[in-house]
Structure 1
Amino acid sequence: MSLVADEKKSTAEYRSERPAWMEKPRTVTRVAKALALALTVAVVVVPFWVVIATSFAPGQQLIDNGGWALWPQEWKLDAYTSALSNGTTTRALFVSLGVTVVGTAFSLVSTVFLAYALARPGVVGGKPVMLLILFTFLFPPGMIPSYLVVYSLGMVDTYWSLFLPVMVNVFNLVVVRGFFQGIPDELYEAARLDGAGELRTLFTIVLPLSKAVIAVVGLFYAVGYWNDFFRGVMYLTDTSMYPLQTVLRGYVSQGDGLNQGLTDEGTLAQAPQAMKMAIVVIATVPILCAYPFIQRYFTKGVLTGAVKS
């Protein structure tokens, strides 16, 4: 028993030892790393906290402090009430939610089917199609050709223009394809021996094993659709169809937003800086709420899918 215990102890000690080429960190090094980490966290957290505090601060405090607040003297919801009661922000919020949900669903279905087809050996035209897809990744189309294509398809001033032109992302496609290629060939052969077709193999074997990469790619798509403002400016002329990020961009960059039809005089009567920060918080919180549920899939999904191309 003692020999077994000693062997386990020596194994544990061996595993805990640092490699021979790696020096033991000194106290100064540890302190420097801790300070660097604390500084990085502060650089990220402090501006976001200032945005939140400003959105809740009363108007007089913002006027006295030059438009910003580090801690509200009184926590008020006036900015959020005004932002959500004028109709424009609320409508834009629902537009962004709809585009994000529908666009992510379309993108995931298209990416999964295309990646599965390109991952299987012997597909007719598989290599030329893959090269064509990679070519679009290296040489993306310009703004004017993209607009002409969308215009020729009659999608200008429609919600389709907000997600159909970018429905398949090449990077996400390559990641999913690499993940599918990493699945053992024995599973595909066993499915064929059982008489399963390609669709049945995809839904019963491949997809259950690919939850991690699908979750990560789905989050990438959702964040992309939610944060996009440029396509709203480029393809939509009706401001009532604007998604939330386009409204936020117009309101923050234009200041008053009256030229864009994004606010009204009742809204401008409130503290404008608090209104801006409230819309920023409204536009940021949904993604922050979704991220913790997907975070645990990041390492497994991205690294495993990127090992094989």
Structure 2
Amino acid sequence: MHKNSLFTMNDLSVEEIYKVLEDGQRFADEPGLEFPKAHLVANLFFEPSTRTHYSFASAQQQLGCRVEDFSASGSSVQKGESLYDTIKTFEAIGYEAVVIRHTQEEYFKELENINIPILNGGDGKKNHPTQCLLDLLTIYQEFGKFEGLRVVIVGDIAHSRVAHSNRDAMVRLGCDVRFSGPADWVDDQSIFMDIDEAVKWADVVMLLRIQHERHEQSMKLSKEAYLQKYGLTYARVEAMKEHAIIMHPAPVNRGVEIESDLVEHPKSRIFKQMTNGVHVRKALMKRAFGYAFTDMVKR
């Protein structure tokens, strides 16, 4: 396995997390930096994606990479080819790094003999390290620290790779992280908090969409009832601390987990997260290829 692959947040020490955030911020502050050569990279998304897929593509293209977007429907996957053989093929024909999103949890355990960097764009309900890092950058830009911050993650916790990646990393960085939402969707009751209590307590309120595609049964509540019982309403925003912020990994189901107009409320950092996704993914591509900023060239 390539040493600069990234599969889970546990692949990064606390020091390495701060390094990725520092690099991401530098890319934000210094637009137009490119790699000294045009690396050939492939994005293999076996599950629908807008933000992760296209922010990776944007980051790669801005860095001067040659980018290929893989389509499983037009490939030998339809003929029964294994994920390992698919990725080994990309390595064999000259691709220098791949980004993979897959419905299978921990798919990367099958790829131990791949010798090019692999970046995990999300696996099942387990891990989403690049989303976690862009969330961390957004929080750090806002508060300049993690130690002592109170974060509540609200919604479909049990089915969310974002919730699990974020909580593990945030706790390591010194945050106090709680979960809220429907109690039977929270897999750790010891840190459960009622939504009305949580919005008053938190410095960061992070909403999650309902992962309908991972539920065995359809939701019993109407969208309107879910919003009133568990979502971020105008009344709950009024109860938030003056400095507190609203986050969401998106896609946002407006009027379900959050009132539609609150997506662009002054407290909201939802579109800022998307912008930071490009900066963080630039930092991770830089890490994948082992560059220093002194190696970069200005476009």
Scaled by the length of structure 1, the TM-score of the pair is 0.22
Answer 1 or 2: higher relative contact order, Cα 8 Å, separation at least 6: 1
The answer to which structure has the higher strand fraction is 2
The answer to which structure has the higher helix fraction is 1
Scaled by the length of structure 2, the TM-score of the pair is 0.23
